[in-house]
């Protein structure tokens, strides 16, 4: 699986959009980009995934660049409950397991 690079930490004001970047410059054509988050001491929670096109669901939007070497997770209206570690993971082909990096600690400030 391709390696990902994320900032260690970010702050965001409550009610504003949180934009979390991820670099995955070695991604291959059949690999998907997944985002999970882990709220303190809980199990990771699936957020969204995508291959080439931008994706949106009830939790977030995923913007993938045309060359697929980077992506951005957008939480449109961050709340205090969105404070968590956010993991960007690249996975594809027949691989079943997820490889977690260090993630980005997002802190939503009141």
Partner 1 sequence: NAGVMQNPRHLVRRRGQEARLRCSPMKGHSHVYWYRQLPEEGLKFMVYLQKENIIDESGMPKERFSAEFPKEGPSILRIQQVVRGDSAAYFCASSPPGQGPIYGYTFGSGTRLTVV
Applying CB under 8 A, the residues found at the interface with partner 1 are 32, 34, 36, 38, 41-46, 49, 87, 91-103
Beta carbon nearer to partner 1, 15 or 93 = 93
CB of 47 to partner 1, least distance (A): 8
CB of 69 to partner 1, least distance (A): 19
Strands 104-109 and 9-13: parallel
CB of 28 to partner 1, least distance (A): 12
């Amino acid at each position: 699986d391709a390696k990902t690079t994320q900032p260690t930490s970010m702050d965001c004001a409550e009610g504003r959009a949180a934009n979390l970047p991820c670099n995955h410059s070695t991604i291959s054509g059949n690999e998907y980009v997944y985002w999970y988050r882990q709220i303190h001491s809980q199990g990771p929670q699936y957020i969204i995934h995508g291959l080439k096109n931008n994706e949106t669901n009830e939790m977030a939007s995923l913007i993938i660049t045309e060359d697929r070497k980077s992506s951005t997770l957008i939480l449109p209206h961050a709340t205090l409950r969105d404070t968590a570690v956010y993991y960007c993971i690249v996975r594809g082909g027949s691989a079943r397991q997820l490889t977690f990096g260090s993630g980005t600690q997002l802190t939503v400030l009141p």
